[in-house]
Structure 1
Amino acid sequence: MLRLITSSLCVYCRRGPMIPTLHRARPCSSLTQKENQATVDALYSLSVDIRKVRKLKGWVLHQSPAYVSEAVTLLRGLGAEGSAIASILEQHPEAVLCSPEQMDAQRELWGSVCPNDRDLVGIIEKFPASFFTSACHHNNQRDNILFFQSLRLNKRIISKLMASAPQSFSRPVEHNQHMVHTLQEAYLSLGGQQDNMKIWMQKLLSQNPYVLLKSPEGLRENLLFLRDQGFTSAQLLQLLAKLRGFVTELSPESMRLTLDFSRETLGCDQAQLLEIVLKCPALLYYSVPVLSERLQVLLSAGVSLEQIAEVPTVLELTTQIVSYRIERLKAYGYDVRTGSLEALNGTKKDFEAGYGRLQLRRERPIFNPVAPLKTEE
């Protein structure tokens, strides 16, 4: 019977961008008791769902002045279609409160990191709040762009950072300089090569832009904890790369709970545990209740602890996915109790491809009269 240990760790709920919702009028606009009818009519003519705007951000409709036509002109100038413009203004109606001067300044700023207008429109469609932002952030945005350009990072990486983690560009550049320096220092101290550092940094930031918002001290503490567990410098560098910076979201206490639980449950010693973690770094950031639930599903299907230790990446799958895949494989004669758990792994596309091969193997004739006989069998 698996022992449940309570843990408050929840990585995924902290990943998303935390763009503050504006509940007050911007300095350049004033709040009126009645809705600004000109704004309502202009948005309605663009096929914007006014009911949705009223429900989620109705305060925008009470602002004056509003610059609906100017926002539309800018978006059309970038190549946005009517449906895209309506979607942008539904997601982020605050866009109409940006002054024309502010919009022009943002277009110029983003133009320095976006290859073309088409790419910029795509970014605005997905992250409108990152483009239509407060004018007070403009200087910080510019300084941060210059800083990342000084690192010779790819323009697409910089634009992705601005879009998905805009708060990291809205704050003073010193914060990002501190975190980047800490990451570079960790990379080199663990044996990383100076010549490869730019590529490593680009990959890390593109996979997890929110690493910039984390604490440099937290990163150092977590690496020291992992070193104390017995990981070598080379292994720590490997973990840092595989965890895509999510090691900054962990804490020594949460990792200790997870490692102790894994060691006790899988019945392995410390050296074996380290090998398991290197195969499946995700073990470090899954909470004990989550791991316990996933282990129980596998064990109830007849899978052994030895099989799980051999293919620990199966623990990255949710209980629903594991149960579904086990049943699918069972229908075509694959027994996870005796076969490799690798058959359960991978993305949906990977699994379906493997499942298709099993299906073909089952449907293939046992005897092919055209094929030569293999007498040695």
Structure 2
Amino acid sequence: MVQYTFFQVTGFFLYPLKHTYLVLFNTAALAKCKTHCYKFYTSCSVVPRENTSLLHNLISMGVDIQKVRKRQPGVLRKQITNEKGVAKFLQNKGASKQTIANIISRYPRAVTRNFDHLEERWRLWRNIFNSDLDIVKVIDRSPESFFRSSDNKNLEENINFLSSLDFTSKDLLRLFTTAPRTFSNSCELNKQMVKFLQDVCFSLGGDRPDDFVKNIITRNIYVFIKSTKRVKANIEFVQTALNLTDEEMLVFLQGPGVDILALSNEYLKMNFKNAEHKLLSLGCSQLDVKNFIINYVSVLCTAPSNLTSKIDYLLQEGIHLEQIVAKPGVLGCSLETLKRRFGVLRSIKYNFNKYGISILYCSSKRFATKVEKLCFVAKE
């Protein structure tokens, strides 16, 4: 049975009509017509073309266009840009043409910033940095830190807020150079993190929250670019896993434990469980595991396969587990370094039981000096 649908059509094709007509359409034919109309509309849709003038300018500046298309392709379709102005601005600040090309290649949206915005932002940064070239180095490494945000007022508020926490110019400079995204955060977000850390201090029985916050931030400046949810989860997991009292946790966080705050929670759990399993399987007690991790928190930042392979290799070379637990810093060396040093020490018949294993993870210069001294003693 053929189905029909009524449509109300008002005359408007050639000239306005005040009459309305009821038109009868076959439903199947209408669906077919609708499909063809959609395809026609889609094929005729206008897709903004890339700005050829912008393309020419960027290519002449040495910008990697393929990288731009991959990172922020929409920039190339903008009709109003300021690539020449941005290049001139950076050049006047001491940036080389190669540096400018690298900055724009990595963060194309930089070409949309106007001179007044750039000048004001530079002025704010310059209050912290010692020279224009210092700023150029940071922007070259992290262009988004300077160009991503257009809110200079927020930047100024962040600088004033962090300064109010008794951060010195040196502290702020370190934040800028190592974790510049801190200043791209909304000031409110940074305030939330500070409030959260102060609450952590109080919950653990501390009575100097401002000092606690400063200790945390200056020791791990990446905390500001992590969520309070992640930091909280990490604190709760480590305190439970290591069975630390509030007082122990308070001390731990302001010391080596601060490194765990910015880690992914899943990564932290995986590394902890791997280290715990490995040590317990070798005969360590739960207390040994606790002391080992407290004394060598870096183990929680080490991939499971790396930790396991290094412990196995040390045991294979005759190092006792007690020596590894007592001197966990040896696990900070790469497996290649350990193998190379064992080769050297084996050739001079080094006695690990007598002299210990500290020689395995000292600096290259100190290692060479110690080996030379041992060789001299052996000749005598």
TM superposition shift of 1:115: 3.8
Q: Is the 8 A contact 1:329 1:355 kept in 2?
A: no
Segment drifting more, 88-97 vs 223-232: 223-232
1:127 aligns with 2:139: no
When the two chains are superposed, the root-mean-square deviation of aligned CA atoms in Å is: 3.4
Q: 1:293 aligns to what?
A: 309
Change (3 A) 1:300 1:33: same
- Aligned pairs for 1:104-143 within 5 A: 104-135=119-150, 137-143=151-157
The TM-score, its normalising length taken from structure 2, stands at 0.72
Segment drifting more, 229-238 vs 184-193: 184-193
Q: Is the 8 A contact 2:204 2:250 kept in 1?
A: yes
1:74 aligns with 2:89: yes
Q: Distance in 1 between matches of 2:249 and 2:205?
A: 10
Q: Is the 8 A contact 2:129 2:135 kept in 1?
A: yes
- SS of residue in 2 equivalent to 1:209: coil
1:177 aligns with 2:194: no
TM superposition shift of 1:46: 3.6
Change (3 A) 1:182 1:321: farther
Among candidates 219, 244, 268, match of residue 258 of structure 2: 244
Kindly provide the amino acid, as one letter, of the partner of residue 158 in structure 1. L
Segment drifting more, 97-106 vs 252-261: 252-261
Which consecutive segments of 4 or more residues in structure 1 shift more than 6 A?
A: none
Q: 1:316 aligns to what?
A: 332
1:216 aligns with 2:263: no
Change (3 A) 1:142 1:177: same
TM superposition shift of 1:264: 0.8
Q: Distance in 1 between matches of 2:75 and 2:244?
A: 53
Change (3 A) 1:268 1:209: same
Q: Is the 8 A contact 2:222 2:262 kept in 1?
A: no
Change (3 A) 1:46 1:360: farther
The TM-score, its normalising length taken from structure 1, stands at 0.73
1:91 aligns with 2:91: no
Kindly provide the amino acid, as one letter, of the partner of residue 308 in structure 2. S
1:280 aligns with 2:280: no
Q: Is the 8 A contact 1:78 1:121 kept in 2?
A: yes
Change (3 A) 1:192 1:324: farther
% identical aligned pairs: 25
TM superposition shift of 1:302: 2.5
- SS of residue in 1 equivalent to 2:258: coil
Q: 1:149 aligns to what?
A: 163
1:354 aligns with 2:367: yes
Q: 1:4 aligns to what?
A: none
Q: 1:26 aligns to what?
A: none
Q: Distance in 2 between matches of 1:122 and 1:55?
A: 24
- SS of residue in 1 equivalent to 2:379: coil
Change (3 A) 1:116 1:69: same
Q: Is the 8 A contact 1:71 1:96 kept in 2?
A: yes
Would you say how many aligned residue pairs link Structure 1 and Structure 2?
330
Change (3 A) 1:317 1:189: farther
Change (3 A) 1:47 1:337: farther
- SS of residue in 2 equivalent to 1:334: coil
Unaligned ranges ≥5, structure 1: 1-30, 368-377
Q: 2:244 aligns to what?
A: 231
Q: 2:217 aligns to what?
A: 205
The one of the two structures with greater contact order (alpha-carbon pairs below 8 A, sep at least 6) is: 1
Q: Distance in 2 between matches of 1:355 and 1:185?
A: 49
TM superposition shift of 1:151: 0.9
Q: Distance in 1 between matches of 2:313 and 2:82?
A: 56
TM superposition shift of 1:131: 0.7
Change (3 A) 1:223 1:45: closer
Change (3 A) 1:205 1:357: same
Q: Is the 8 A contact 2:94 2:132 kept in 1?
A: yes
* Greater Cα radius of gyration, structure 1 or 2: 2
Q: Distance in 2 between matches of 1:236 and 1:186?
A: 10
